[in-house]
Amino acid sequence: MNLSIIQYNAGNIQSVLYALERLGVTASVTDDPAMIQASDKVIFPGVGEASTAMAYLKERNLDQLIVSLKQPVLGICLGMQLMCQHSEENDTNCLGIFEEQVLAFKATENTTKVPQMGWNNISHLKTDLFNRVPENSFTYFVHGFYAGIGNNTIATTDYIQPYSSALQKNNFYGVQFHPEKSAEVGEQIIQNFLALKS
């Protein structure tokens, strides 16, 4: 399989690469449009800040490229958020693939810690991305912003309020958690993504 990881200024790309290696899959880390377009699958990772990341993508026309992709695409963490309409993080217009909005977690009396950091359940699992993943499995999250629940929601998680821990529209998938750091559950989800039909 020909797999690309989109290279841009918001990575923890190494851990995604290593997770794929553990599954015996080699990926190319690239920002070359032709190479990305020719891939069977594309991973759009991301750790960082939304407006800086979007500006970088736009400068290199990667924003146009990503929305035009026809093969299965998996956004991870900030990658997923950038695939939504808009993010409250520095009032950023995003790629608009998913119709959901990205909002900031607001601490409450009961939940005082923002960002959310640690293992939480994923529930209401839909689509082949979650084949053989039991309801309420645990995955690892680190995030201060979240996508609301909408038509594209394929998994939900509860932190302060229920939100979308995964989204899907057509060939585009996004997960808020880090499958590359989510032990066996994460490995299953990555394998499921790799098994999706192009």
Partner 1 sequence: MLTKRIIPCLDIKDGRTVKGVNFEQIRDAGDPIELGAFYASQGADELVFLDITATIEGRKTLSALVNKIAHHINIPFTVGGGIKTEEDVRVLLQNGADKISINTAAFLDPTTISRFAKQFGSQCIVLAIDAKCEADNNWYVYLNGGRTKTNKLVVDWAKEAVDLGIGEILLTSMNHDGTKQGFALDITAQLAENLPVPIIASGGGGTAAHFYDVFTKGKADAALAASIFHYKELAIPDLKEYLNQKGIAIRI
Q: Annotated active-site positions, please?
A: 77, 178, 180
Nearer to partner 1, 98 or 141 (CB): 141
21 burial via Cβ count (<10 Å: 0-12, 13-18, 19+): exposed
Say how many C-beta atoms besides its own lie within 10 A of residue 45's C-beta.
Answer: 26
Q: How far is CA 168 from CA 28, 30, 77, 88, in A?
A: 24, 23, 14, 21
Does 182 sit near partner 1 (CB under 8 A)?
yes
Q: How far is the CB of 91 from partner 1 (least distance, A)?
A: 19
Residues from 149 through 168 that contact partner 1 (CB under 8 A): 158-159
The two counts, helices (H) then strands (E), for the chain are 6, 13
Q: Is 188 exposed, middle or buried (0-12, 13-18, 19+ CB in 10 A)?
A: buried
Query: Of the candidates 7, 28, 48, 169, which one interacts with partner 1 according to CB under 8 A?
Result: 48
Angle (CA) 186-189-194 rounded to 5° is 125
Closer of 168 and 176 to partner 1 (Cβ): 176
Cis previous bond, 45, omega within 30: no
Distance CA 92, CA 86 (A): 6
Question: Using CB under 8 A, which of 31, 52, 187, 191 touches partner 1?
Answer: 187
Q: How many residues bind partner 1 (CB under 8 A)?
A: 35
Q: Which of residues 6-45 bind partner 1 (CB under 8 A)?
A: 12, 14-15, 18-19, 21-22
By beta-carbon proximity to partner 1, the closer residue of 153 and 182 is: 182
- Among positions 101-140, residues that touch partner 1 (CB under 8 A) are 107, 112-121, 138, 140
| 67 vs 107, beta carbon nearer partner 1 | 107
DSSP letter at 144? S
Q: Which residues of the chain form contacts with partner 1 (CB under 8 A)?
A: 12, 14-15, 18-19, 21-22, 47-49, 107, 112-121, 138, 140-142, 158-159, 178, 180-184, 186-187
